[in-house]
Amino acid sequence: MDIQTDENSINIKANKTKGRSLALFFCIASSLLCILCFILMLVGYPAMNIAFVLTLGITGLLWVYRLLSILRQRDKFKRFANFIYRCYMIGIILSVGCFIFLQIMIMSAARSEDAQADIVIVLGAGIHGETPSAVLLTRLDAALEYAKSREKTPIIIVTGGQGQGESITEAEAMFRYLRLHDIAEDKIWKEDKSTTTLENLAFSFALIEDKDLDKEHLTIAIVTNEFHLYRAKHIAESFGYNVIGVAAKTPYISLRILYHFREAAAIIWQYLFK
């Protein structure tokens, strides 16, 4: 009996040691990945901005878990550490549940609608010098496909100001791309002051209102990537317009994953602070 008990104790200790070693491994691996993302962000990879924030958050959570695990092994801090640990785990579970719920909402809106729109608004997504980014190209191509499939070509509003590392405004780069693909100049309106999704839409609607168009009888197509449609449509509808969505497929699986995380955070920020 005593031999069996000793063997069980040894196995339990061995498993705990393995668990602590595995936790430490993940902490170190996550820290190294965070440093790598930070370096790539500094040398000019825009997508790494999101990756760095995500890995920083995950790294912080892992190190907190590691610290709590150590404190729970010490009698002096055990009671307090156990309480914090329970709060920590509840927070993790609630966060995961919230994230899953937000992803359901995002994916529910991630589809194109085929209704006829009078005006198409293409949301900006960054350029490199004068060249549209890969994400922005998918939006422009989706707008072209939509516009050319209509009996009557709608007005296309291209949006976006000039940011860091951009030689021209995003709107100008988009205008040039559409002209190269046979969209008539008088069918393209430029909104070249915005820096956020909210400004993209607010300034675009201001352009529409300056033209004295009948707001109640207009249908507006919002063109953006599928992960972005839920929030973009929600903002647009808050201005009182009849809105449909046109989804552009996000390039690269890595970008899709990163932007889905970022979009979940942006939705929470919008509901809490806007």
Pair of tokens at residue 209: 């209102």
Asked if the model's pLDDT at residue 13 lies above 70, the reply is: no
- State residue 159's pLDDT score: 96
Quick: pLDDT tens for 48-77.
777 788 888 889 989 998 888 888 888 888
- State residue 2's pLDDT score: 53
Asked if the model's pLDDT at residue 7 lies above 60, the reply is: no
49, 38 in Cβ contact below 8 A? no
240, 215 in Cβ contact below 8 A? yes
pTM for the full predicted model = 0.79
Pair of tokens at residue 230: 């839920």
Transcribe 6-50 into DSSP letters.
Answer: HHHHHHHHHHHHHHHHHHHHHHHHHHHHHHHHHHHHHTT-TTHHH
Average pLDDT over every residue of 114-128: 92
- State residue 76's pLDDT score: 81
Region class of 208: left (phi > 0), else alpha (psi between -120 and 50), else beta: alpha
Lowest mean pLDDT, pick from 8-17, 115-124, 154-163, 239-248: 8-17
Give dist(CA 235, CA 233) in Å, integer: 5
Give dist(CA 248, CA 112) in Å, integer: 8
CA distances from 196 to 83, 109, 125 (A): 41, 20, 9
116, 219 in Cβ contact below 8 A? yes
Percent of the chain clearing pLDDT 70 (strictly above): 91
Quick: pLDDT tens for 180-231.
999 999 999 999 999 899 999 999 999 999 888 877 889 999 999 999 999 9
Find how far residue 222's CA is from the centre of its chain.
Answer: 17
Instruction: Please return the burial class of 41, using the count of CB atoms within 10 Å of its CB with bins 0-12, 13-18 and 19+.
Output: middle
265, 231 in Cβ contact below 8 A? no
Quick: pLDDT tens for 38-47.
888 787 666 6
Transcribe 104-157 into DSSP letters.
Answer: HHHHHT-S---S--SEEEEPP--EEBTEEPHHHHHHHHHHHHHHHTSSSPPEEE
